Amino acid sequence: MSHKRVPKRKAAIAVGGVAALGAAALLLPNAMASQTDSSNNATPKTFKANDVSNLASKIAAQLGDAFAGSYYNADKQQVVINVVGNDSNVVNTIREAGAVPNQVQNSTATLQSAARTLKARATMAGTAWSVDPKTNEIRVTADSTVTGGKWDKLVSTVKSLGSNVATVKKSAGTFKTFVSGGDAIFAQANGGGVRCSLGFNVTAKDGSPAFLTAGHCGVAAKQWSDSQNGQPIATVDQATFPGNDFSLVKYNDPNTQAPSEVNVGNGQTVQITKAADAVVGTQVFRMGSTTGLHDGTVTGLDATVNFQSETVPGGVDTVNGLIQTNVCAEAGDSGGSLFTQDGSAVGLTSGGSGDCTAGGETFFQPVTAALQATGATLGAGGAAGAGGAAGAGGAAGAGGQSASPGDTASPGGQSGAGAGTGDQSGAGAGDQSGAGTQTGGAADQSGQSTGNGAAGQSTGNGAADGSGLTSH
């Protein structure tokens, strides 16, 4: 689609990925009920999911070292506060706030120490760990590439942490960053095409309109377009990967309208009103044009993921402080938005393992950390106003995303943003749609879908009636 510049034009890229609204009006939480809630004489209050973070922060400030994490019991709509020790004053403080006290073995300091040990001894490609307050343990995951001596080393490290401090499991997939998808943004780098997803529109610190996306996209290319072979419409201002995984990309036209909303197809949007910290046990939604709209639960916080580096042979790209979820994702969802039903921006899709058939785990860069680091704020910049999202312009809808399971358009310097490494089969470089150095160059994605153009061109999931969100 050709690129047109018009005065005060609306953003050609809608926020988030293209999916559809379904006929079902309700999204049922799939968080597990707590197995460890302690009984008490006071009747706990019920809370909405978006109230949990503030309540837990206030209680944590009062409890000090006795605080050992918190989570949301979605079935009962209760906030559970983990505590070490049996101080009656601590228990009463929790109950007076309307939360449920839950006595646990491991303090926050113990779990932090365990994470430091894992970092020192088990930082190898294909491993990840996060804090799971429901079990009061560090959850360690190894993907299918961690075998033999690497697996033995990981298991022995976990055992060395002590009893009931950490658990380890194998994942059937491979940890990779998910590039391309969402409402697509395109770049040309090192002779190949790179495709990523816009996360959330924001206002940069200087007042200009901008958007957030994954950091591994921002270090792969500087200039981004809203159509596959179009002229650049946005330029990377800040990009961080590895370590963190976020980019701030400014629209080149200061009059670009960049509404603060997630496009869910067929002209329907979810207004994004604020940023929120993730809370274990709460329901979240991920947008991506490859797989449409999917929901799941936050399962861990402060996750560390060790991706196989595509720029340093045999190296590791480690990203810290991520949100772990059981929301599925596939190649084509990187950089896209993680949000709540009430319109809170939570995360940017970083990577994970599995797919939307077999399941898996997906990790997200917290939006709150990205906003703090870049100085950006949620909301429209420039001449932004209501409307103008809904997949307008040449965002290529869901069209052309690759169906390959390969790796990422990883940090700069790669040949064609990931020169065909990973487990993709014949799909060119990484998991970007036909990007990289493969014969035939950029553009013609392997396994491409049929969507091309305005919103609603997802992979055929769901229908639209405006009655509410539903997952697929």
Last-in-domain residue among 103, 126, 143: 103
Q: Does 276 lie in the same domain as 186?
A: yes
Dist. CA 345–CA 337, nearest whole Å: 7
* Distance from the first to the final alpha carbon of the chain: 29
Dist. CA 370–CA 189, nearest whole Å: 24
Q: Does 139 lie in the same domain as 97?
A: no
Q: Does 408 lie in the same domain as 468?
A: yes
Q: How confident is the model at residue 177 (pLDDT cuts 50, 70, 90)?
A: confident
Query: If you compute the radius of gyration of the chain from its CA atoms, what whole number of angstroms results?
Result: 22
CATH number, position 140: 2.40.10.120
Q: Are 80 and 70 spatial neighbours (Cβ–Cβ below 8 Å)?
A: yes
Average pLDDT over all residues of the chain = 75
Q: Which of 70-84, 207-221, 348-362, 410-424 has the lowest mean pLDDT?
A: 410-424
Domain, as residue range, for 374: 1-30+107-472
Q: Is 392 inside a domain boundary?
A: yes
State the Cα angle at 175 between 412 and 342, rounded to 5°: 90
Q: Does 191 lie in the same domain as 81?
A: no
Last-in-domain residue among 103, 138, 167: 103
Q: Which of 23-32, 119-128, 219-228, 274-283 has the lowest mean pLDDT?
A: 23-32
Query: Which residues belong to the active site?
Result: 216, 245, 334
Q: What is the pLDDT of residue 193?
A: 77
Dist. CA 133–CA 130, nearest whole Å: 10
Whether the per-residue pLDDT at 344 is higher than 80: the answer is yes
120-145 exposure pattern, b = at least 16 Cβ within 10 A, e = fewer: eebebbbbbbbbbbbbbbbbbbbbeb
Dist. CA 470–CA 472, nearest whole Å: 7
Whether the per-residue pLDDT at 3 is higher than 80: the answer is no
Q: Is 42 inside a domain boundary?
A: no
Q: Which of 56-60, 316-320, 445-449 has the lowest mean pLDDT?
A: 445-449
Q: Does 120 lie in the same domain as 81?
A: no
Q: Does 53 lie in the same domain as 1?
A: no
Q: Does 254 lie in the same domain as 161?
A: yes
Tell me the C-alpha to C-alpha distance, in Å, between residue 193 and each of 40, 131, 433.
Answer: 59, 37, 8
Q: Is 38 inside a domain boundary?
A: no
Q: Does 225 lie in the same domain as 188?
A: yes
Q: Is 43 inside a domain boundary?
A: no
Q: Is 83 inside a domain boundary?
A: yes
Dist. CA 352–CA 370, nearest whole Å: 19
Q: What is the pLDDT of residue 50?
A: 81
Q: Is 40 inside a domain boundary?
A: no
Query: 237-251, pLDDT tens digit by residue?
Result: 999 999 999 999 999
Dist. CA 446–CA 448, nearest whole Å: 5
Whether the per-residue pLDDT at 12 is higher than 80: the answer is no
| Nearest Cα residue to 55 out of 99, 88, 93, 91 | 99
Q: How confident is the model at residue 367 (pLDDT cuts 50, 70, 90)?
A: very high
Query: 118-148, pLDDT tens digit by residue?
Result: 999 999 999 999 999 999 999 999 999 999 9
Q: Name residue, tokens 């646990």.
A: 104
Q: Is 35 inside a domain boundary?
A: no
Dist. CA 410–CA 36, nearest whole Å: 41
Q: Are 346 and 278 spatial neighbours (Cβ–Cβ below 8 Å)?
A: yes
* Total structural domains within the chain: 2
Q: Does 345 lie in the same domain as 412?
A: yes
Q: Does 247 lie in the same domain as 363?
A: yes
CATH number, position 60: 3.30.300
Cβ-based burial of 472 (10 A; exposed 0-12, middle 13-18, buried ≥19):
middle
Q: Does 179 lie in the same domain as 72?
A: no
Q: Are 163 and 154 spatial neighbours (Cβ–Cβ below 8 Å)?
A: no
Q: Does 304 lie in the same domain as 170?
A: yes
Q: How confident is the model at residue 16 (pLDDT cuts 50, 70, 90)?
A: low
| Nearest Cα residue to 158 out of 131, 139, 172 | 139
Query: What 3-state class would DSSP assign to 59?
Result: helix
Quick one: which H or E segment has residue 145?
A: none
Q: Is 41 inside a domain boundary?
A: no
Q: What is the pLDDT of residue 415?
A: 31
Last-in-domain residue among 72, 88, 103: 103
